[in-house]
Structure 1
């Protein structure tokens, strides 16, 4: 939190200086961003399910996450804007706690969270962005750098975009690209760590607990720790009439390196099962190809019914070379209740096919080259219902010190899969404008 506050104070000082310089120069060109803006976001996420990948596709998926975000946008001059975003995500996961299910006070069980160190963690992320607009505002380029870290990986990334507006700004075309370089910490299920197995072959122990069965896991350590992601895409938007606009997009992503998760367990139907307490000991870990190419094609149409109601529709088709294809369709209907208040109900439908390498709990064969029991890669369909309300005051009549309140947003989403997985998310946001 001290780091976030320090960033905020530095950027606020920069905003004051930048605005002072512009005023002193006497420039009357309309700015891209008139004043510094500060946005505070808070998300609370809660999920439950019965198919945890950490325990081989069978086990609790309970997870709670609290994620605050601060986004500061500072106009450096008429044409340039600097943005800094800081995110912290603090979560508690029953699933990841079972990386070591034997470090709690209760008997190990895939449906019971362990109380060990892997139960909770913090993910941190920071992004610094810069954008420049041409004098006629028909060309915009931007660039950003990012860093994120969690208990088992770190990521450094960078990207940029270029946008053209023409046809009296009725048409827009953009190109964008990003690169992310990730490094994993190779954390394996506890029973696959050599120092954890003791006793004689006929009397094996895992952390002092008697093993039931002859435990002979199929396991070799992973040699690579890196994962790289490269993305590129374009977007095209067109104002079709005074009431309608449309947008088309295409995105292409190439990933290479370690694309599996080292602590995801695998169980084979042709290998003898072994247990410690109520826990099925891993017979292998998730193995997936070291490359993946993804393609996503999307389209959006917005229709302004009248001054109170807008229809926003979206469709995306996705496919990759792992055998997954999916469809996403959504609709949002903002309804303006007053000049300042808007409610926006929404609905999204999603379906996908299974990856070539997916099989449920204990159904893989040990002779296979690749295998996963992660239900994110299974066949499923899902529904997401949302309702939100927003308050917007373009004149920022309400103030906190020298900051005018521009908007307040509240939203709730309910997500359900047909694979006994559900989640809820509450979002809250405040946007302030610096009033000098």
Structure 2
């Protein structure tokens, strides 16, 4: 028994020594994410203008939107990270309220918001993503699943990406793909609904309880959409290169194919060859926006970032976009982060945007009833836009400030003013807080 015990001890000792030798040859691998991080993002957005698509290119575009988003990034092990992104957006809109401008207490008017149920809506989104990094951190795979919904809209999406770093991590290439399957619960302008299918036409309650002025023989040739689905397929390619100690550049190519219902069902169109009909001050729609059921988009762009010194960095961006609806656009921006201290950074920025009009766009009463496709949505018009932003960032990698078990890592605040040359103007305030769980 004594000899057996000594043999067992010898074997165990040998295995332990071998294990120690193996452990001593292992290379230390830093975790992709050291600890769970929680981001809280919020924004307050307002806009106004005089070209509401809901009322055929005229009317108030006044809108207020408040968003809140929580992003939780959880390290599953050294190599894998699970991210949950949940967001909600609540808005009130003078424009969308006029999907049914006759449900309020005041006379209907395209420049006045209706006080009815269509005045506000809520958008919700939930996205889960998983990423895996190789041991040398030169290969990164990711996959995601997303779901979002509004009162009249539901979307589900899947996607994935692959990133490769080489040349001692000085060069990076990536590819990503996403598919979105969307379904409308189509809402049409309220005055057109009685003329769809077996509706009562002018015998419906809307017309028996209100007086039509102008052309009293209102009789639109209106049909609803046969299909309410839309699919989007997106493919993107990226290339990034550290060009020198101070200079980094990147290129990106994005391809998007869409098919299905690409028109917005509640956006009105007015024809120049049909006499106008009104209830109160609101012109009754001749039809709704009708656009092709396919669209192909191409965008190519690049970034160039230059490190001047410890205080200043210059970040530039340019993108060219084109699609088969006739839109061509140019986007250029510059941002100059200014590092005030180790913890505080200011970042002013400017962005310029210019686009041509879609082939199917025309102004209020610019279309003919014989046209095949038509829209008066000024998002598809020719315009230029200027955007000025100013932000401030606070970073504390040691997370000295705590809320319960959450250590505050960074705070970002930003104000943006946006102006188009077609009367639309907007302001947005955004705030972001990053916490780490101790």
Q: For residues 341 and 63 of structure 1, what CA distance do their matches in structure 2 show? A: 33
Work out whether 1:262 is the aligned partner of 2:265. yes
Q: 1:297 aligns with which of 288, 296, 300?
A: 300
Q: CA deviation at 1:218?
A: 2.5
Mapped contact 1:128–1:144 kept (Cα < 8 A): yes
2:356 is equivalent to residue 353 of structure 1 = yes
- Mapped partners of 2:35, 2:29: distance in 1: 14
Instruction: Return closer, same or farther for 1:309/1:323 CA change in 2, 3 Å cut-off.
Output: same
The 5-angstrom pairing of residues 189-208 of structure 1 reads 189-194=189-194, 195=199, 197-199=201-203, 206=207, 208=209
Aligned to 2:108: 108
2:422 match: 419
CA displacement at 1:402 relative to structure 2 = 2.0
1:347 positional shift? 0.3
CA contact (8 A) 1:189 1:264 kept: yes
Cα deviation, 1:201-239, whole Å, max 9, x if unaligned, reads: xxx962611112121212111101100000001000000
Q: Residue in 2 aligned with 1:379?
A: 382
Given the superposition, is the C-alpha separation of residues 117 and 205 from structure 1 closer, same or farther in structure 2, using an over 3 Å criterion?
Answer: closer
Specify the alignment match of 2:233 in structure 1.
230
RMSD after superposition = 1.4
Q: Matched residues in 1 for 2:309 and 2:207: separation? A: 67
Instruction: Tell me the TM-score normalised to structure 2 length.
Output: 0.91
Contact 2:364 2:376 in 1 (8 A): yes
Change (3 A) 1:293 1:432: same
> What is the correspondence of 1:365-404 to structure 2 with a 5 Å cutoff?
365-404=368-407
In 2, the alpha carbon distance for the partners of 1:207 and 1:44 equals 42
Q: CA–CA distance in 1 between the matches of 2:385 and 2:263?
A: 24
Report the equivalent of 1:67. Answer: 67
Other structure's SS at 1:190 match = coil
Q: Residues of 1 paired with 2:184 and 2:341: CA distance?
A: 50
Contact 2:241/2:249 (<8 A) preserved: yes
Aligned residue pairs total 407
Q: How does 1:13-162 map to 2 (within 5 A)?
A: 29-162=29-162
Q: Is contact 2:227–2:260 with CA below 8 Å preserved after alignment?
A: yes
Are 1:197 and 1:205, in contact at CA under 8 Å, matched by a contact in 2?
no
* SS of corresponding position for 1:420: coil
Deviates more, 1:389-398 or 1:417-426: 389-398
Show the counterpart of 1:337.
340
Distance, in Å, in 1 between the alignment partners of 2:208 and 2:421 is: 37
C-alpha separation between the residues in 2 aligned to 1:136 and 1:279? 65
Alpha-carbon offset, residue 355 of structure 1: 0.1
Alpha-carbon shift at residue 197 of structure 1 (Å): 4.3
Q: TM-score, normalised by structure 1?
A: 0.92
Match of 1:23 in 2: none
Q: Structure 1: which 5+ runs fail to align?
A: 1-25
Query: Retained in 2: the 8 A contact 1:73–1:84?
Result: yes
Deviation at 1:272, TM superposition (A): 1.2
2:191 touches 2:206 (CA, 8 Å); kept in 1?
A: no
In 1, Cα distance between the equivalents of 2:220 and 2:423? 29
Residue 374 to residue 98, structure 1, CA distance change in 2 (3 Å): same
Measured at CA, do residues 112 and 175 of structure 1 come closer, stay the same or move farther in structure 2, by a change above 3 Å? same
Q: Quickly say closer, same or farther: Cα 1:270–1:241, change in 2 above 3 A.
A: same
How many angstroms apart in 2 are the aligned matches of 1:30 and 1:294? 40
Q: What displacement does 1:391 show?
A: 0.1
Partners of 2:166 and 2:27 lie apart in 1 by 25
User: Are 1:313 and 1:330, in contact at CA under 8 Å, matched by a contact in 2?
Assistant: yes
Q: Does the 8 Å contact 1:232/1:253 carry over to 2?
A: yes
Q: For residue 164 of structure 1, what is the aligned residue in structure 2?
A: 164
Distance 1:65 1:329 in 2: 26
CA contact (8 A) 2:270 2:365 kept: yes
Residues 239, 207 of structure 1: alpha-carbon distance in 2 compared, 3 angstrom cutoff: farther
Distance verdict in 2 for CA 1:207–1:398, change over 3 Å: farther
Output the CA distance in 1 between the equivalents of 2:329 and 2:202.
46
